[in-house]
A and B are shown apart, each in its own frame.
Chain A
Amino acid sequence: MYFLFAVFRRRFAFGESYSSAADSVIAEVGPGVMHNTEMNTSLGADAPRAAARTETSRDERQADVVAALTAVLPRAAILCRHEDTAPYECDALTAYRASPLAVVLPETETQVAAALKICHRMRVPVIARGAGTGLSGGATPHHGGVVLSLAKFNRILKIDAGTCTAVVQCGVRNLAISEAAAPYGLYYAPDPSSQIACTIGGNVAENSGGVHCLKYGLTLHNVQRVRGFMVDGEPVEFGSGGLDAAGLDLLSVVVGSEGMLAVTTEVTVKLTPKPQLARCIMASFSDIESAGAAVASVIAHGIIPAGLELMDKAMTAAVEAFVHADYDLDAAAILLCESDGTPEEVAEEIVRMEEVLVAAGASRIEVSIDEAQRLKFWSGRKNAFPASGGISPDYMCMDSTIPRRRLAEMLRAIEQMQGKYGLRCVNVFHAGDGNLHPLILFDAEDPEEMRRCELFGADILETSVRLGGTVTGEHGVGVEKLNSMCVQFSPPERAQFMAVKRAFDPLELLNPGKVIPTLHRCAEYGKMHVHRGMLPFPDLPRF
């Protein structure tokens, strides 16, 4: 199981064997190398011949599919030559690549429907794609499928200050919504770190979060209506122009479905009045336990900060070298605690936050005096990922969530794992909501390090489930965390997920092979299902 995110300097690529696809996927990678990522499997001696046969039939299949699509789409909207489809071979989880049969770039909903109808008739998997910034491989193509790029759906259709909503096409960038809403004193609250590039369609697919979701919620809490198409090209609308819709709350299950239930083309999002002021407290702690306890204490005092983030010492050192923001390099952990609202509200809340942090043992406290200083405080946090790239050839980003009160326990466990796997790990957390982003530092050129890194990552995820948490807080399962789903969910729970999938998409053509692991895969992974923090026979020693 590979969890690799970003910054491969060598071009790595892996194929995936999708459960529902007839053909095994073989993707070409760096110069002349082939990999098969399914754990515990290998291609075997007959692989090259089998691959050659597959390639011939694939060429024929590709020609048929392209010919059919050409009948309904402008020629320029269909890419099928390898050099044209190469940019679509992966999303931001670059370790997984596959070359699709074709990439289509429709410009109208009619074209989306037509392309879907053809793919449905020909039983071709369809992978919808926004900006390709996803971190879990949700948009990794299917070797026998078509990538449906929705990049051209980039218009903001309406901003309505009276209902505090915006109607936007799915390819509109997250930040572009806030920019368009700014003249009305409004903004779109969920702010994933990729907000400059990621699209609202992708946010809907992943139920994206961000640093402000403790106070303002996830994508689901900020979306009112999704318009799009079923797998067979039939138009559909989930939610409504009002605050709810008749029948089951299908919007809940469509948001976060990772492109497996329907294709989104238009979204009505909720806008939030822009706070008049925001101020941030930077607090240092001399040990990680008291930092963890301070987080719980802030919440216990009835304060919901606009953001509450934690960086450990190693992370702080890495970002300080990167952004020079005068972070306290002696602190074992740094907390960033933000208040926003009216000036009166912020003044009142900052005083209360300071009191709580001091009582929790903060060794140094600094409150931003102006917007420039506030942004400086945040600059390190926002650059945590690139800064980690500066201190290690590669890093792997984890995304589990645990109950807040287990933070210190988790950090100690990660410290032990560093020794166990012989790798360093720097930690940055959305502490307010218990969402962890440990970054495991390693060198992908060393296969042995890479193997240990994968084990380290799996260990973090399984520990998170054992502590009562979840394997993914905001990045999604995609292909990256399929194995970990075996640990978090029981076989009947996974079967129920699959039944939900089939209720929308009976032939399993939308983004097949993502999110829900097959029984077979879980059996091969061989890890026990851990039920909500309770191991069967918890008293037995386990090694």
Chain B
Amino acid sequence: MDQGDPVLVRLVDQVNHARSHRSPLDIRGGGTKAFYGGPRKGEPLDVSGLSGISSYEPTELVVTVRAGSLLCELEAALDEQGQCLPFEPPRFSPGGTVGGMVAAGLSGPARASVGTVRDHVLGVTMLNGRGEVLTFGGQVAKNVAGYDVSRLVVGSLGILGVICEVSLKVLPMHRATATLCFDWDENQALEQLNLWASQPLAVNASAWHDGRLHVRLAGAAAAVNAACDRLGGAAVAPDAALSWWRSLRDQSGDFFSLSDADLARGDCLWRLSVPATAAPVGLPGRQFIEWHGAERWWRTTVEPREVRAAAALAGGHATLIRGADRSAGVFTPLSDVLMRIHHELKQAFDPECVFNPGRMYAEL
């Protein structure tokens, strides 16, 4: 990345100014994930000017893109070449940026089969709290030179620094897909998903809600056809399937949308990340299961304490995605040793604590 780029220079100036005044900065891309994480504090640091695809060589399966670029524009450019971001990052609304995608680290329905945003980040250029522009990783898939800082910033919610440019591994789109659905209760769906997990089937995504399991198969046409024959179930028409998975990916359906009235009566959207084989999590409310059982979304009004206890009992953790009252923290509290490492890393990247204070944990 050109260090003399005027947009970058302005960002560096702003960081240096904030650093010398120890005043917090609120890193902003498109603002589409403002609801996610702890409360926002500080002067806005607008990264959206840092836009454009820096290099894209389809035969390398790598795209290098500046952080303020719109995610939808990146996906359109990949689509033209028959390629995609296989981890299906949620878009929430059209203005989301690539930097925001990396900073939030959220992945969509295909995650259990293809991996996360983090798994597809190859390199990152970032601006740390000393006003230094640093590049880690690179544009090649195999790279073990130095600590993997480029992946550490994925999902860091901006607390370590400003993501300026990122290199991503992209993949060819699947040649064939098919969606099947099954009318099964939660127990039966989980049991069947756990059974399929160890078989070489082309299962790419799964979602259970309200007595119905949707399964998406993806891969070579022959593999998808063979899997359809083996799995049975009812085929969903391609168009309907496409919009159904898209709505799930972008969390745009009713289940994921909380009205003001919902929020006012204390309704929350929780994401529980648990082992795929965990027994049903019996909370009062409604549930949506993804990632072959490893991701369990809950709409519930119970106390955060209870949700976190249920997640811990299942061997995982719970994140408050949407809710009016975030005073109990958005993310599951860390053990003392992990919190100490978080503090030290924060110091290592951002000694004056200017970036997104409190966005991940109140004390960071």
Contact = CB atoms under 8 A, between A and B. Distances in A.
A and B associate: yes
A249 B155 contact: yes
B147 A347 contact: no
Contacts of A113: none
B199 A496 contact: no
A162 B195 CA distance: 6
Given A253-B149, A345-B219, A493 B338 contact: no
B341 A496 contact: no
B328 interface: no
Interface string A44-62: 0000000000000000000
A310 to B, nearest CB: 15
B198 A349 contact: no
A206 interface: yes
B131 to A, nearest CB: 10
A473 interface: yes
A5 B153 CA distance: 34
A157 interface: no
A481 B144 CA distance: 11
Interface residues of B, number: 87
Looking at A217, A220, A404, A503, the one whose CB has the most chain B CB atoms below 10 A away is: A503
Given A220-B148, A304-B172, A405 B226 contact: no
B167 to A, nearest CB: 10
A255 B344 contact: no
Contact of B135 (A347, A403, A493, A503): A493
B342 interface: yes
B220 A341 contact: yes
Interface stretch (A85-93, A230-238, A373-381, A418-426): A230-238
A185 interface: yes
A532 interface: yes
Contact of B138 (A213, A241, A469): A469
B355 to A, nearest CB: 13
A255 B337 contact: no
Nearest to A186: B198
A427 interface: no
B148 A163 contact: no
B295 A433 contact: no
A405 B57 contact: yes
A457 to B, nearest CB: 15
Contact of B197 (A162, A257, A504): A162
Interface string A361-386: 00000000000000000000000000
A461 B345 CA distance: 30
A247 B171 contact: no
A470 interface: yes
Nearest to B150: A252
Interface stretch (B9-17, B40-48, B181-189, B273-281): B273-281
Nearest to B336: A234
Interface stretch (B70-78, B112-120, B241-249): B112-120
A300 B348 CA distance: 41
B348 A218 contact: no
B200 interface: yes
Nearest to A184: B198
B197 A256 contact: no
Contacts of A221: 115, 119
B326 to A, nearest CB: 15
Interface in A476-526: 476-477, 481, 485, 488-490, 492-494, 496-497, 499-504, 506, 515-516
Contacts of A493: 134-136, 146
A296 B62 CA distance: 12
B194 A162 contact: yes
A402 B142 CA distance: 9
A240 B149 contact: no
A477 B146 contact: yes
B156 A248 contact: yes
B154 interface: yes
A287 B335 CA distance: 58
A299 interface: yes
Contacts of B146: 477, 485, 488-489, 493-494, 497, 515-516
A502 B344 contact: yes
Nearest to B160: A248
Nearest to B332: A246
A296 B173 contact: no
A389 interface: no
B334 interface: yes
B223 interface: yes
Contact of A275 (B130, B200, B273): B200
B223 A477 contact: no
A516 B147 CA distance: 9
Nearest to B167: A532
A242 B140 contact: no
Contacts of B262: none
A478 B239 CA distance: 52
Interface string A408-452: 000000000000000000000010011100000000000000000
B61 interface: yes
Interface of B: 57-62, 82-83, 105, 111-112, 115-116, 118-119, 128, 130, 132, 134-136, 138-149, 151-152, 154-156, 159-160, 171-173, 175, 194-195, 197-202, 219-223, 225-226, 273-277, 291, 294-295, 315-317, 319, 331-335, 337-338, 341-342, 344-345, 347-349, 360-361
Q: Which 5 A-B pairs have the closest CB atoms?
A: A344-B222, A302-B172, A503-B344, A252-B151, A499-B348
7 contacts: A242-B273, A242-B315, A244-B155, A253-B148, A401-B142, A468-B138, A493-B136
Given A236-B341, A243-B291, A489-B146, 5 more contacts: A220-B148, A221-B115, A245-B273, A345-B223, A500-B147
